[in-house]
Chain A
């Protein structure tokens, strides 16, 4: 009976299947054209020499060997790694601290949380414009340092200080988002754990290190992965605030892709750098999967 009815309506004539295809069609067309095709094209471009005039020539792995011999590329990789190393501990500590501070019922708490969330919804360009002014030579940060007798600096023009300055901006912009993820994780911790600990006479330090922190690991892991991916792909802030400078001290991998592509119109070379970024992203995702599968983090 089932066999007959299945034969009577083969899948391609079944109304539900047909409707399924019709419903995904608009999405599929746009996804194919503007996500999948460009991803394939970008990977192929990395093996080609392509100029604005439109001449395309297959050059094999030449772009990659050029990349590996290019000090600008290694610098860009280092800047990206350095930015990640600076940003992640800072962002995570700030987010965790703020989540602990906000994890309580208090009159006016929703007001505080709204303020803490405001930087998240602002554009990177707008926050970049303000922070450029904050870091200016005659800006408020130097004014504050000067008035308490500390040395001042030209933050964004100083090769050693520009990356820490950018990390601070990133922490300011993202902590509200990460804090919310951590708060969701804290809400999921059963209150009995804390009650039992209080009965046993455990202080806040014990409660934090033996209950909150271990049980918050899944949420912390999510924040960590989000921050890593965000750090690898940082672009807007750098473009707006430093333009990769001074002397390429903030010239990240994404900035290099943009610069090679739209500064020099060396599309093949820029795509090769893009493929490196893709590989780094894929490795991060695989490691994340691995760790989650192993069950150390649910």
Chain B
């Protein structure tokens, strides 16, 4: 392809990129708007940006609390999902026991059951356990993740048995085998699944919406939605939206290659 023609491609790509990015740009532009009225299209380039809306959003402590809840929810879930899924994935890939195939495929088949059907029973169960409006009640229903377990098993199947046998001959016990032989081998897939699980939980909405009733226990997504209903300044809402968005963007930019690999895997299944 000639160089001139290649450069031409920047035009459609640039237009599409601008259109895709516009909502993000507008969100940030409104959040730093010093006055209440929004002038089209001048607001897109604020002449005197102000951080008042962020002070409003964070000053009450409410948004900060939501961000903290979201962080705990996402981080604890990532750790537990990875731990449980890698242990189970290892057993399903490398151990022989009766019922292995049946249990595995039963779990995978459960992926077809929509979350909306299990939502009400989950709500009743967690409510009976006294877990509504608590962090543990928010976390526990989400940690047995079938996709994560499935991907772990696929990946661990590729690890040569000789590696495990060699370690066994060296006298490694079952747990040592998992912890110091298998886990280090799975780092790339742990990173991929971890990235996805973090984003799923950070962005999760429906379960936190029904299980967290007190505003101080909200996660960011639920809190941000509640700011829409209240008589909140648009700039403050947008500041909260920016705060919701920033961690996902940073995680994505930092772990982009793992994320891309994960999407490609979903296309090749």
Could you tell me which A residues sit within 8 Å of B by CB distance? 11, 15-24, 26-28, 30-31, 33-39, 41-43, 45, 98, 101-102, 104, 106, 108-109, 112, 114-119, 121-134, 138, 140, 143, 172, 176-177, 180-181, 184-185, 219, 222-223, 226, 232-233, 235-236, 239-240, 254, 257-258, 261-262, 267, 270-271, 274-275, 277-278, 281-282, 285
Please give the distance in Å from A83's CB to the nearest CB on chain B: 15
User: Are the CB atoms of B225 and A125 closer together than 8 Å?
Assistant: yes
User: Are the CB atoms of B40 and A143 closer together than 8 Å?
Assistant: yes
State the CA gap A258–B217 with chains docked (Å).
21
Contacts of A233 in B (CB 8 A): 114-116
Secondary structure type dominating chain B contacts: helix
With A108-B10, A122-B248, A126-B224 in contact, do A43 and B117 touch (Cβ < 8 Å)? yes
Contacts of B84 in A (CB 8 A): 26-27, 30
User: Are the CB atoms of B205 and A124 closer together than 8 Å?
Assistant: yes
State the CA gap A39–B125 with chains docked (Å).
12
Question: Interface residue count for B (Cβ, 8 Å)?
Answer: 91
Please tell me which one of the listed residues B97, B106, B144, B149 contacts residue A17 in the complex, with CB atoms under 8 A apart: B97
**Which of B16-24, B47-55, B186-194 contacts the other chain?**
B16-24
Contacts of B202 in A (CB 8 A): 123
State the CA gap A26–B96 with chains docked (Å).
18
Nearest 3 A/B pairs, CB to CB: A20-B95, A181-B267, A123-B203
State the CA gap A133–B28 with chains docked (Å).
13
Contacts of A38 in B (CB 8 A): 117-118, 121-122, 125
Please tell me which one of the listed residues B26, B224, B269 contacts residue A134 in the complex, with CB atoms under 8 A apart: B26
Please tell me which one of the listed residues B20, B40, B87, B96 contacts residue A116 in the complex, with CB atoms under 8 A apart: B20
User: Are the CB atoms of A281 and B112 closer together than 8 Å?
Assistant: yes
Please tell me which one of the listed residues B97, B238, B253, B267 contacts residue A21 in the complex, with CB atoms under 8 A apart: B97
User: Are the CB atoms of A101 and B9 closer together than 8 Å?
Assistant: yes
Please give the distance in Å from B117's CB to the nearest CB on chain A: 4
Please tell me which one of the listed residues A35, A180, A222 contacts residue B260 in the complex, with CB atoms under 8 A apart: A180
User: Are the CB atoms of A140 and B97 closer together than 8 Å?
Assistant: no
Please tell me which one of the listed residues B27, B116, B140, B252 contacts residue A121 in the complex, with CB atoms under 8 A apart: B252
State the CA gap A144–B171 with chains docked (Å).
72
User: Are the CB atoms of A115 and B97 closer together than 8 Å?
Assistant: no
With A23-B91, A35-B144, A261-B119 in contact, do A123 and B248 touch (Cβ < 8 Å)? yes
Contacts of B169 in A (CB 8 A): none
Contacts of B205 in A (CB 8 A): 123-125, 236, 239-240
User: Are the CB atoms of A17 and B23 closer together than 8 Å?
Assistant: no
Please tell me which one of the listed residues B13, B97, B225 contacts residue A112 in the complex, with CB atoms under 8 A apart: B13
- Most chain B beta-carbon contacts within 10 A, residue among A30, A36, A114, A261: A30
Taken residue by residue from 114 to 143, chain B's Cβ proximity to chain A (1 for < 8 Å, 0 otherwise) reads as 111111111111000000000000001111
State the CA gap A128–B122 with chains docked (Å).
26
Is B110 among interface residues, defined by CB-CB distance under 8 A?
Answer: yes
Is B178 among interface residues, defined by CB-CB distance under 8 A?
Answer: yes
Which residue on chain B has the smallest CB distance to residue A32?
A: B144
Which residue on chain B has the smallest CB distance to residue A276?
A: B117
Please give the distance in Å from A266's CB to the nearest CB on chain B: 10
With A24-B87, A45-B121, A124-B205 in contact, do A181 and B264 touch (Cβ < 8 Å)? yes
Q: Which of B4-50 contact A (CB under 8 A)?
A: 6, 9-10, 12-13, 16-17, 20-21, 23-24, 26-27, 30, 38, 40-41
With A121-B199, A181-B264, A278-B117 in contact, do A34 and B23 touch (Cβ < 8 Å)? no
User: Are the CB atoms of A258 and B206 closer together than 8 Å?
Assistant: yes
With A17-B95, A129-B237, A274-B116 in contact, do A235 and B206 touch (Cβ < 8 Å)? yes
